[in-house]
Amino acid sequence: MRGLLQRVSSASVSVSGEELGSIEQGLLVFLGLEPEDTKAQGIALIERVLNYRVFADEQGRMNRSLRDVRGGLLLISQFTLAADTARGLRPSFTSAMAPAEAEPLFSALFAYADSAHDTVAGGRFGADMQVRLVNDGPVTFSLTGKSS
């Protein structure tokens, strides 16, 4: 499981011109699922995202979490994060979880995030989405849901 976290001043997601979700200050998280990923790993990753200290405190240090600043979370499924890019000039997606398995897992993780945080928005699984964002910083981190 891979998460690409971006601190944003605003972000939104649309499908076919219809806006499905938007947030102001907060985090945009693209989530890529791999075949061995579990719901428990996903919940741990969501908790890490909600508590990851990427917002500035009074001294300008990254010491505040999404929960601390009461920011929004925009959670987007993105299978391309699970791509194998080790060789060649075209990514392989054999390392991504099959859509039939990924959709219910992503839905469960979205539901968990929605129950654990006040402001959560998302797109549509498997859709051709247009994501707009204003990256604040820019601040971008790659997180993994696998235990070490």
Q: Do residues 133 and 15 touch, judged by C-beta distance below 8 A?
A: no
In the residue annotation, 80 being an active-site residue is answered as yes
In the residue annotation, 79 being an active-site residue is answered as yes
Catalytic pick from 30, 55, 79, 110? Answer: 79
Catalytic pick from 25, 30, 78, 106? Answer: 78
Catalytic pick from 80, 85, 140, 144? Answer: 80
Question: Before 138, cis peptide (omega within 30)?
Answer: yes
b/e burial code for range 80-98 (CB count within 10 A of at least 16 → b): ebbbeeeeeeeeeeeebbe
Q: How far apart are CA 87 and CA 90, in angstroms?
A: 8
The catalytic residues are 78-80
